[in-house]
Amino acid sequence: MAKIWDISQTLRPELPVWPGEPPFALARLASIGPGCPMNVSAMSASLHAGSHADSPFHYANDGAFSADCDLSPYIGPCKVIDVTHARGLVQPVDIDPHAVAGAERVLLRTFERFPIESWDSNFMAIAADTISLLADAGVRLIGIDTPSLDPQESKTLDAHHRVLAADMRILEGLVLDDVPPGTYELIALPLKIAGADASPVRAILRELKN
């Protein structure tokens, strides 16, 4: 059986979230007991909590909602690339062009160890020129282990808008600590949520058999 890497964060009340956004919450609506045969729960959270797929509507008012996004970019062969050596922004020089040659999906590991228990406001972001490099190489989806492609304080979202111009898709908040650089099958489907600017994903990588 092919090995599977779960690269998703666990949604939980203690999950670090973007400053100002509500924490994840799970409420028990019904519990198994006398007169009740089942457990039923409800959850509430920002759509950008944990591992998620931005929809184009997140950064463009005329962009597609999560429910309307083509699913093909979110499933298929992908390259995992270690860019922990980069500083501040992942620049084109930080990407080995041979590593992305022929890749339609690229996941970038920026953290030595993912900050599971705390929010890191100084996370590494991606330069817009790096997005252009990936788009020119034929990449359709860019994923990263940080909360955003752009710096936390960005008001222009240059990387997101370069993604928009290239009609690429985005995964953010992945956990890539235990995944060696290489080629895998990615499966990270967004939920079919009408009007949504993002969706949680259960992102996995599956070993490719030769």
Catalytic-role residue among 48, 52, 58, 160: 58
| Beta strands at 204-207 and 4-6: parallel, antiparallel or unpaired | antiparallel
- The token pair at 73 is 């970019």
Give the residue carrying structure tokens 């040659």.
Answer: 101
Report how far residue 58's alpha carbon sits from residue 139's, in angstroms, rounded to the nearest whole number: 20
Q: Is 207 left (phi over 0), alpha (psi -120 to 50) or beta?
A: beta
Known catalytic membership, residue 85: no
How many CA atoms does the CB half-sphere of 111 hold within 13 Å?
21
- Catalogue the active-site residues: 58
